[in-house]
Structure 1
């Protein structure tokens, strides 16, 4: 089939975005919705998910909700299986839910380590497995795992976060190795430094912001809407022969010394 720009359209497809009530997840939902996808907003809080869904509907987007905690395997499987049975297929999964904890590595608590891994890594595994079982049966699907520049680079006080995001990058490759034969494309989307709620302390730190702007070839923080083009590409048929890759959207940060 010849290439056309319609390859980037997501009409008739449904996308589940975990942790999509704020920040990057919410903006990615808007981006996929603008490309034609029906959205499934996720949060562990029903009222929050309902409020965001209502907001997006007011913007003209088609929105449903799926309430579950990505760290609760039983709960998320019941929610995903129930959604598939009662509402319809999840064609696109974006594993966006994530947390950050900062402390010197020698002082990093075991509790914070395990919490990071449960959300950032275990959550990606459990949600992907639950959704992929349905995708495998249909012989098609798109999985986008939100990685990070910390999938490649480390900084003081966030070594466990970097470990979790490095593991997600390799899990993405493993998904490709296991599931490509079933018509599933699994890829990573790795943001650089974006001005989000999670990064508020860094955005407000003048010294860090000055360092970052000098370190990044683009000379600035990223804007969350700048992630949407890459997400739409990875979610669309335009990327049907792209698998197991991690696409860095970082203003050139990982390309230079």
Structure 2
């Protein structure tokens, strides 16, 4: 007698269920639980802003990712459990720098700012890394050296402005200019030549640089012993030197990036990273 379709399906299901209890017939394996993700963009943002805050306000959207990083550092005995709080402050920066040093990194590669390689290694078996930020290889722009991420940002700023920009100083230039206070030691930082520019043009250049993801300010001789120029630090560049990290953090907090931490004196734009700019 031929069973109706529904009845036949029920009988088959019962037989399969009973067979899993018979020796030699294994049950289907359970799928492995997916690892949580650490959002590198959000983590980098917190690592720049949180150490510069006067309070313990968390960087929006970063808590879950920062907690995963801090838990991993705690389990390596690099971070006291009391600092596992989702706040990437100076203590977490120091712990992450120790972790980078344990991998054999030195200099800007052990600044406490998470890079793709170190973050991926830290997450082995614990988390995956999403929204990865990569500085890229070092390339030349005129007489200056920058990384490919910075060059792409400069190219887009030039497109917005309809003019070329000339660099007085690039990145990876330790000790090149004492007045720079170490900001150019790592990647992501440039000084733009403003010779022949009017005040309005200088402002428009700073605005374009800010739009594509730089913390950028017009610098004048009244501020320090330097000529007129535009100083720009690429937000969330993984190669930023510690001093440049401080400047980008201060930029988010409405400050001018100078040692005195005065109010921001640049053109007002919506603050975005290069990656965020590309998504709009």
Shorter chain as denominator, the TM-score bin is: 0.3 to 0.5
Larger Rg over CA atoms: 2
Q: TM-score by structure 2 length?
A: 0.31
